[in-house]
Amino acid sequence: MEVFPSPLESAKFIAEHSKDVYVDEEGARRVAESLFDKASSAEFGLAGWKSLHELNPRAADKEAVDWVFLVDTLNFSFWSEQEDRKYLVKYKNKTYSGFWSLCAAVNRALDDGIPITSASYFATMTLDQVRHVFRSDTEVPLPLIEERHRVLNESGIILLEKFGGSFLTCVKMSEKSAQKLLHIVLENFPSYRDEAVFEKKKVSFYKRAQILVADTWSVLEGKGDGSFDDISSLTIFADYRIPQVLVHLKAMKYSEGLMKKLREGKLFQSGDKEEVEIRGCSIWCCALICKHLQELYQKKGQDMHEKINAVLLDYYLWDYARDHREDMKHIPFHRVRGIYY
């Protein structure tokens, strides 16, 4: 059986050996202090996943779980080369960009009677059908459309052959364990194996696999098949937005050399040393923020281990990035075109 390295242990190792990215422990503590009041509010909780995002499914059923699987299978590479030329999707009189443009395109297809979340449909989709479903309302197409087509077909076939055509089968097989579900995903769906080699050691991030588990927990509201008692074993989802927020909040720092490359818009490859350092240090930095937050509550006599975890911190920071885009403009994000994030 293949061994899947732990993203948290990988992150610790990367942070300890990192040359161009630095986790500022004091900065992480300050972020925890600034989140202290927010962490007990509803917007930090599980309910926010539905209440703050109108495109996410309202229900907690098989269809909703299959929606989550489809969306997270395609949850990668939405950034634009130029700020004024973006892939956008109009849905119900609102225009969406980034990840939400994908969700809007999925909901638009469902409204048009296209069974896009059904494995029997996306297992056999042609490239032209994928282009049609994810068509843009600007002249800028969705990036990596051929890769999306390949990943859709591959994942659909696996669902049909092994899991009766629904991701809910995987969820039931996990017996309410986030880690077990994570391993089912990694063992069976190759496009989710987000790994690299750093200092001669295999390391992992599993951004989409972990977000798939987390979104399943969220759509099922942490109840029934989704009542994972080990949800706090997941890390944040290392993408290109979270590191930008952490640098903005001064919990993480880049070397001058790396900052220069980022400002020049250098395109990194998945697995490049600096790219691995950025992602690994982001995971470790957020683990420290969670630890400090829990310590702050403990001092007040409150046990918040159930309420504070990396998943909810990630959701919060990701929304923060969207709402503070102008403030963060001066901090460049790292550019990678690939299927992992």
| Per-residue pLDDT, 77 | 93
24, 215, 239, 314: the catalytic one is 239
Report whether 274 contacts 21 (CB < 8 A).
yes
Contacts of 52 (CB under 8 A, 6+ apart): 43, 319
- The CA–CA distances, whole Å, from 276 to 48, 196, 267, 273, 332 equal 30, 7, 14, 5, 16
3-state secondary structure of 162: helix
| pLDDT at position 39 | 73
Query: For the CA atoms of 32, 50, 171, 341, what is the dihedral angle to 10 degrees?
Result: -60
**DSSP one-letter code for 41:** S
Give one DSSP letter per residue of 286-324, joined into a string.
HHHHHHHHHHHHHHTT---TTT--HHHHHHHHHHHHHHT
Q: What is the pLDDT of residue 37?
A: 78
Residues in Cβ contact with 81 at an 8 Å cutoff, skipping those fewer than 6 apart: none
Query: Structural domain boundaries of the chain?
Result: 7-336
Q: Read off the pLDDT of residues 65-80 as tens digits, 9 standing for 90 and up.
A: 999 999 999 999 998 8
Say whether 72 sits in a helix, a strand or coil.
helix
What's the burial of 182, exposed, middle or buried (CB within 10 Å: 0-12/13-18/19+)?
Answer: buried
Nearest residue to 227 (alpha-carbon basis) of 183, 182, 172: 172
| Interatomic CA distance for residues 298 and 324, integer angstroms | 30
The model's pLDDT over 148-177, given as tens digits with 9 standing for 90+, comes to 999 999 999 999 999 999 999 999 999 999
The pair of three-digit structure tokens given for residue 87, joined into one six-digit string: 């892939």
**Per-position DSSP letters for 221-281, written without gaps between them:** TT-GGG--TTGGG------SSHHHHHHHTTSEEE-HHHHHHHHTT-EEPTT-HHHHHHHHH
Helices and strands (DSSP H and E) totals, the chain: 15, 8
* Alpha carbon distance 204, 36 (integer Å): 30
Residuewise pLDDT in 10s, the chain (341 residues): 577 999 999 999 999 999 999 999 999 999 999 888 777 776 666 776 777 788 989 888 999 999 999 999 999 999 888 878 999 999 999 999 999 999 999 999 999 999 999 999 999 999 999 999 999 999 999 999 999 999 999 999 999 999 999 999 999 999 999 999 999 999 999 999 999 999 999 999 999 999 999 999 999 999 999 999 999 899 988 888 899 999 999 999 999 999 999 999 999 999 999 999 999 999 999 999 999 998 988 888 877 766 788 888 888 888 888 889 889 888 999 999 998 89
pLDDT in tens, 52-69: 788 989 888 999 999 999
Distance of CA 230 to the CA centre of its chain: 18
Q: How confident is the model at residue 160, as a pLDDT?
A: 99
Residue 239 among the catalytic residues: yes
